[in-house]
Structure 1
């Protein structure tokens, strides 16, 4: 009934370096994706090209997608919701998390933060999007997104888990308030009365309805800055690919225990975490440049 909008073909952009690695003692899985390397560079051109097709379902609700499906200006309607690239520090992470939850986890979006903004310069305090994962016919997970772009991978993880703990424990604008907010916006997101009733039944479950169980989970995206020895770009292509991919994998693997530690520190054992990681070169410049290209329908990589 609720379908993903991003095809598994999106994953063809990446080397899948770590596949669904289960963190010991935690209900958590880690996936590391590295953008394909060509001529000793990440293929950002291909990333922008693919994100151009993803930005519409990211920015628009299901109802808007249905309303504007025959409108040739649907892309313009969508990108107008993006913030100005000069002040845009986090939206690339939100977009990539959306794409990965849909294409890899196969968890369709219920809504993104984009749909709750009152203006393009107004960030809503809360999750970076909400997705629904069907475990089986009886069990579902409501997945709240948390994305961080940080030069240092461990610092990005720290920020993500701290934000999640705050989201769960603070008195206002917490996870329960957001579930209520989702409930009030379901009419906007649902394209049919049948879908609305189905989603409402899952999001606000009844103890009397033992046919359905819902648990809350978190999708985490951390993008970090890959620091390379300047001499590496002079390596033969195959050597460069091998060394860079190995460096990235080692960077992520050595922080697996840190993920376990943060879950333990905040006593988050009752939640499932889906952790996604993508490295960047020149992160600060790249994230702004990607958003700029999306906003002006250009590709200057």
Structure 2
């Protein structure tokens, strides 16, 4: 069956002007290639860049991150004045200041997977939360992608830490845990799978692929995605001309550190995509996010 999963976010070109990609590839010290995505907010205009990013979140990302596609289509299909704003306000009520840092990391993971990897989320865990102050358990994101006719299921992990290497240590442990508990994720997919242009034929096809009981090649399908946001204030002191090269140099050390820790968890480096994004200050980032979105306690 020839298939393609449609990205969910509609304002992806706007997002690419705010979360910019560095065109660079990486190899480990033993010359093995690894899949990485380096993104950044335009330097020397941090506050303005954050405002643009938060605006993009408010104008399209947030509702898509929180809700099932079918619910969004239903709400916006009514075409009443203020429908999009009411959907955003309902999405914000799923978040709390207590969980905002983790959920911002998950939101960025969702955004990068959809916009840059064209791998939409297969289910919305956050929409099923019964308490806004309780974080989502298991994988931080479950995304899918058809590539060269083969299906990839990405179990996602996100960390928004001050220190990259601490984030890498915790992230690789979480990735291992999520992979070991794949059956829990399959049960959720089986019950709540929802993404753009999902029809009965495609749903049945995916469920057959992902069912551990019917697919003996599940190891070939399971992949990992990891987003790490970290503080690197000295990067934001660079001129525009200096920024990219300094970022590439710093990233080289961090990428090697992450994949070494991944292999210590007995996970394959060629089945894990690492996405990174430096900020000036994580605490300030989260405070500004809470204020801009007006997230309640």
The answer to whether the Cα contact below 8 Å between 2:105 and 2:229 also exists between their aligned partners in 1 is yes
Structure (1 or 2) with the greater helix fraction: 2
1:141 and 1:25, CA in 2 relative to 1: closer, same or farther beyond 3 A?
Answer: farther
Unaligned runs of 5+ in 1: 233-238, 297-301
Partner of 2:8: 5
Shift of 1:244: 3.9
Find the aligned partners of 1:286 and 1:208 in 2 and give their Cα distance. 43
- TM superposition shift of 1:192: 4.3
Residue 270 to residue 276, structure 1, CA distance change in 2 (3 Å): closer
> Matches of 2:66 and 2:108 in 1, distance apart?
12
Distance 1:74 1:252, change over 3 A: same
Measure, in 2, the Cα distance between the counterparts of 1:40 and 1:128: 27
Secondary structure of 1:255's aligned partner: helix
Please say if residues 134 and 140 of structure 1, whose CA atoms lie closer than 8 Å, have aligned partners that are also in contact. Answer: yes
| 2:218 corresponds to 1:181 | no
Cα gap change, 1:261 to 1:213, in 2 (>3 Å): closer
Aligned counterparts, 1:138-287, within 5 A: 139-169=150-180, 174-186=181-193, 192-204=199-211, 215-228=221-234, 232=237, 240-269=239-268, 272-287=271-286
**CA distance in structure 1 between the aligned counterparts of 2:235 and 2:258, rounded to whole angstroms:** 27
Instruction: Give the equivalent residue in structure 1 for 2:129.
Output: 117
Native 8 Å contact 2:69 2:194 kept in 1: no
Alpha-carbon deviation of 1:41?
A: 5.6
Measured on the aligned residues, the alpha-carbon RMSD in Å equals 3.1
Q: Does 1:133 align with 2:145?
A: yes
1:68 aligns with 2:83: no
Picking from 43, 51, 57, the partner of 1:45 is 51
Query: Contact 1:66/1:191 (CA < 8 Å) preserved in 2?
Result: no
Cα separation, partners in 2 of 1:175 and 1:48, compared to 1, 3 Å: same
**How many residue pairs align between the two structures?**
282
Name whichever of 86-95 and 32-41 sits farther off: 32-41
Q: Structure 2 length normalisation: TM-score?
A: 0.82
Q: Residue by residue, what CA displacement relative to the aligned partner does 1:33-55 show, whole Å, maximum 9, x if unpaired?
A: 11012447661111111111211
Secondary structure in structure 1 of the residue aligned to 2:152:
strand
TM-score normalised per structure 1: 0.81
Task: From the superposition, tell whether residues 256 and 126 of structure 1 become closer, same or farther in structure 2 (CA, over 3 Å).
Answer: same
Find the aligned partners of 1:128 and 1:208 in 2 and give their Cα distance. 24
Q: Which moved more, 1:41-50 or 1:187-196?
A: 187-196
Q: Which runs of 5+ in 2 are unaligned?
A: none
1:183-241 Cα distance to aligned partner (Å, 9 max, x none): 1223799864344323323322775899x9961111100000113299x4xxxxxx622
Structure 2 counterpart SS, 1:254: helix
